[in-house]
Amino acid sequence: MGFRQAWKILLITLLSYCIIQSYYCNASDTILQSQKLLVGETLTSASQVFELGFFIPVNSDKRYLGIWFKNIPPLKVVWVANRESPLKVSDSAASVSISKNGNLVLADGTQNVIWSSNVSVPTNITVEVVLLDSGNLVLKDNVSGQSFFESFDYPCDTFLPGMKVGFNRKTGERWLLSSWHKENDPSPGNFSIGISEQLSPQFFVWNKSTPYYRTGEWNGLKFIGLPYIDSAAYIVQFVFQQEFQEGTTYFTFLPNTSFLTFVELQSTGSVQVVQWTDGCPAWEIYAKMVHAPCDIYNTCGPSAVCSKNKFPICSCLIGFVPRSSDEWSKGNWTGGCVRRTKLLCQPKGNTTSIGVGQQDGFLKFSGLKLPDLAAIFRLDSASECERLCLNNCSCTAYAYVAGIRCMVWSGDLLDIQDYSYAGEDLFLRLAYSELGQKRKGARSFSLGDSCNISKDYTMESFYLGNLKKEDPIELPLIEFEVIATATNNFKVDNKLGEGGFGPVFKGKLKGGPEIAVKRLSNRTGQGIEEFKNEIVLISKLQHRNLVRLLGCCIEGEELLIIYEYMPNRSLDKFLFDASQKELLDWPKRFNIIQGVARGLLYLHRDSCLNIIHRDLKVSNILLDEEMNPKISDFGLARTFQKQQQLVHTHRVAGT
């Protein structure tokens, strides 16, 4: 028997075997009614983007059926079928198939149904299950294409292009993301994401049933509670859809041909946008919302404002006082604030009992995240919106926002945040006596003391010797006593290290975050220029790969700068320690390289001030809790003009 004949016999044998065993054989992206998917087998979407199969989370003793991105490390599972009904790891005989009633079912090794698509399927058709390149798993009629079940209608913790987050008013159905319970436990966790039922909806993160975070309303281009993100900068191109006949209202987002991307709700309640570009070794976190105290819903209580750039972070609105002064002084702000003077609430034009012109009016507050629970009216002008509010005794404030129009609040004003720039204008209704000589639109809101408007006996002398009055500083002034308490009086045990400027101490603000404090404690002239550089230049910069400055202190003989605390310290602690450097695998190293490069690109080209660092070394690259790099120590930095291609420095400095 020749080679050709032997080859033909082998080929025929293999084909025959597959036909006989068609119960188990399956197409690469499809399960037919005669087939099963077993443990160890997978479906792969047509373009090799997604894969469906059985997986075991790290350090878990449970097995799940899920969908994940194919061949992109680390494994990112985007959907889990049996979140609440896991299989035992020892059950290697589990299978996925189409049942007699047309549903997709997951059965354990003893053929007990663990999970089912649980939809109504006509008995006179033939159905199939297909894994699409979008990541959507679809149970459909293989003739007409009508779908009966789609995994996109049952999201887990991952928002993919083409998915919906929203609701159907007619059916009561809601499309929500829900977090994993833990990193290795896909069962539903405490946090979920959905949208509000209002004319201009907003995304909410809920902790169980309690609001945890919100984005602010959608104005057609962006969410107004995220003022620092320009509409053109959204890597996730959101699309808002309202289909009145069907009763659906939802957000989706468009796929990008240049890279893969998704939005993930983590088990901690944080939200991150993740992307992967062809050729990259791993996923890259494009943006992460780790919610600071002011981002947590209604941190300061009713009629109060939260400011990240102030300590304490909570302040009552003008015309309001703390509901409980005792609780407020202890840092418990949940009770919020109450009006100091009751409203007279006379409709405009009715002045018979209060005298001409002495009716309630409005005070303008600028640069805010507007309160929650606004009623929205499609009025054509701000003056109409003002009139609507003034003629309604229950109206406490209004705003007129492009793309949304008239926003009106009744009762308490919840979840207000102050921004150092951007934000919206809020017109607060106050009694005439609270307005004084400053009427509607004549006064803007300002929070607390900043470095350039602080105590004369400290700052004035520092300005005379070191700063110009026009030098813009945007850091809050924190009193020395507060910092001393936070660092346990600069206890040696809290010392993180020491540089040319002075020692650095770890601390924790009362009711606030962990901090790192850099201290220069004498006025010999050493470090003054570096201190000025930090508080003038770097206070204006915001980038995820630059260490964030939280405040400054200039009091008596003390100069201090307060930074966000970086739990993994500096990069040199890992690179030059034999045991620690083993923790830096290639993906982590590559992420650090990319992060430092992004930070430098921002400094050199994209920031409002073009800056040369001049002291970039591994000890000045700090690492956060997830080993993301942040450039620090700008004491030797200097600016250059945008048109300059070459800059000469006047002395040797740093590296």
258 is written with which tokens? 């240049």
What secondary structure does DSSP assign to 231-246, as a single string? GGG-SS-EEEEEETTT
DSSP state of 570: B
Q: Which residues are within 8 A (CB) of 577 and not within 5 positions of it... i.e. 6 or more apart? A: none
Distances in Å between the alpha carbon of 508 and those of 487, 503, 513, 554?
Answer: 7, 17, 6, 19
Bond into 503 cis (ω within 30): no
Q: Which residue in this structure is represented by tokens 């609105």?
A: 317
CA–CA dist 193, 276 (Å, integer): 23
Active-site residue, from 418, 615, 624, 633: 615
Which two three-digit tokens encode residue 182? 């833990």
Is 449 an annotated catalytic residue? no
| H/E stretch holding 11 | helix 3-20
| Cα radius of gyration (the chain) | 30
- Dig out the tokens for 477 from the structure: 């002034």
Residues 178, 188: contact at Cβ < 8 Å? yes
The DSSP output letter for 384 is H
Distant-in-sequence, close-in-space partners of 11: CB < 8 Å, separation ≥ 6: none
Long-range contact pairs involving 105-109 (C-beta distance under 8 Å, separation at least 24)? 106/65, 106/81, 106/82
SS3 state of residue 598: helix
Give burial (CB, 10 Å; 0-12/13-18/19+) of 364.
middle
Q: Assess contact for 581 and 571: CB atoms under 8 A.
A: no
The structure tokens listed for 379 are 């009025």
What is the C-alpha to C-alpha distance for residues 498 and 617, in angstroms, rounded to an integer? 15
> For residue 248, what are its two tokens?
């659906």
| Pair 115, 85: CB distance under 8 Å | yes
Query: Could you tell me which residues come within 8 angstroms of residue 497 by beta carbon, excluding any fewer than 6 positions away?
Result: 503, 504, 569, 570
| Interatomic CA distance for residues 483 and 507, integer angstroms | 8
Listed in order, strand segments (DSSP E) in 378-527 are: 395-401, 405-410, 416-418, 424-430, 495-498, 503-508, 514-520
CB 599 within 8 A of CB 546: yes
- Ramachandran angles phi, psi of 634, nearest 5°: -105, 25
As annotated, the active-site residues are 615
